Each structure stands twice: as C-alpha cells, then as structure tokens.
C-alpha cells in the first residue's frame, strides 16, 4: 500500500467510496451523493497545506483522507479538521490508521497546532482509531444531525501536535 497526494485520476474511485458512505452509513452526514463536478470542487479545495491523500494498492484507491480549515476566522488558522473514508471491503485492515498517520504528519509539517475530528457518536471504530493516535474527546454535540430518520450526536476529538 502506498500513501500519496490525491490526483485527478483518483476522483472516480474517491467519489465511489464517498457515495457508498453517503447511501449506506452514518460516517458522513451528507444525504445526497456527489457528482463529478462536486467532487472536483472538493479536490480543488484540498491542495497545498490542506491536502487530500489516498491509500493505493495496485491502482485501486483503498481509502482517502483530507485536512480542511477548521473555521474561517483568522484565530483558527492553526487548526485543521480531518476526514477519512475507507472502501468498505478494506475497513479494519489498517488503511484508515495509515491515512490518519499521514494526515497528522502533513498537519505537523504544514505548521498546524491542532487537529479536530468530528464523527457520529456511534462510530466506535473511528473513535477508537483517533484515540489510538492520541486524540482526546473534548465534547459531544447532541442531536445536531438527522439521517435515516434518526437524530445523531457528534463526538468531537482533538489532537494537539507537539
């Protein structure tokens, strides 16, 4: 498995992974699948210090991740938010952890001080993954999302980069 910066040729597979999560899980609160144009806009906004990366094995994207600005106000400029999505048939195989480790390294080299992770409160694998990499739970947002007919809580976790 190789971790590298995402390229335009990865977009179809990234979109496939993301849209599977939209339609079948609570790992994203999106309820509408992304089309190619929307995914391209996402890709264009994730370059430089806000990268998108992929885990590749034999030209197959196993998963992807990104760093995004946490908030748009200047005081938050040293904080980023992570996102990770893994192909369903490769979950729990170490792909997500490898992607997250690379995102942390990139956040550090980009000069960021904190990484925020927000996930559905029932997403125990993601909570455990982030916890294993030093993230601490800093809050719970109650009933801030609604998907598949139910109210959803969000766990907020934070890593201070040494």
Q: Tell me what the pLDDT averaged over the chain comes to.
A: 95
Q: Which percentage of the chain shows pLDDT scores above 90? A: 94
pLDDT value at position 77? Answer: 95
Cα pseudo-dihedral 92, 13, 69, 109, rounded to 10: 70
Per-residue pLDDT tens digits for 64-115 = 999 999 999 999 999 999 999 999 888 888 999 999 999 999 999 999 999 9
Tokens 């994203």 appear where? Answer: 28
How far, in Å, CA of 26 to CA of 34, rounded? 16
pLDDT bin (cut points 50, 70, 90) of residue 162 is confident
Asked if residue 53 has pLDDT above 90, the reply is: yes
Q: Which of 54, 62, 141, 57 is nearest to 106 (CA)?
A: 54
The pLDDT of residue 90: 84
pLDDT tens-digit readout, 108-129? 999 999 999 999 999 999 999 9
Query: Which CATH code fits 2-160?
Result: 3.40.630.30
Predicted pLDDT at 104 = 97
Q: pTM value? A: 0.94
- H helical segments located in the chain: 11-24, 36-44, 95-109, 124-132
* C-alpha distance from residue 136 to each of 66, 114, 118, 124 (Å): 20, 11, 11, 14
- Residue pair 95/55 in contact (Cβ under 8 Å)? The answer is yes
d(CA 14, CA 83): 13
Average pLDDT over residues 48-67: 96
| Domain residue spans of the chain | 2-160
């Amino acid at each position: 498995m190789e971790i590298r910066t995402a390229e335009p040729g990865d977009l179809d597979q990234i979109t496939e992974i993301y849209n599977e999560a939209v339609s079948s899980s609570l790992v994203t609160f999106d309820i509408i699948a992304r089309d190619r144009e929307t995914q391209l806009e996402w890709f264009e906004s994730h370059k430089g210090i806000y990268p998108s990366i992929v885990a590749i094995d034999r030209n197959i994207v196993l998963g992807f991740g990104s760093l995004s600005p946490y908030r748009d106000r200047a005081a938050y400029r040293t904080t980023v938010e992570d996102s990770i999505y893994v192909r369903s048939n490769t979950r729990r195989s170490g792909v997500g952890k490898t992607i997250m480790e690379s995102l942390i390294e990139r956040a550090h080299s980009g000069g960021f001080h904190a990484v925020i992770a927000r996930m559905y409160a029932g997403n125990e694998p993601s909570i455990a993954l982030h916890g294993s990499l030093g993230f601490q739970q800093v809050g719970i947002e109650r009933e801030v999302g609604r998907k598949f007919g139910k109210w959803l809580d969000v766990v907020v976790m934070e890593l201070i980069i040494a």
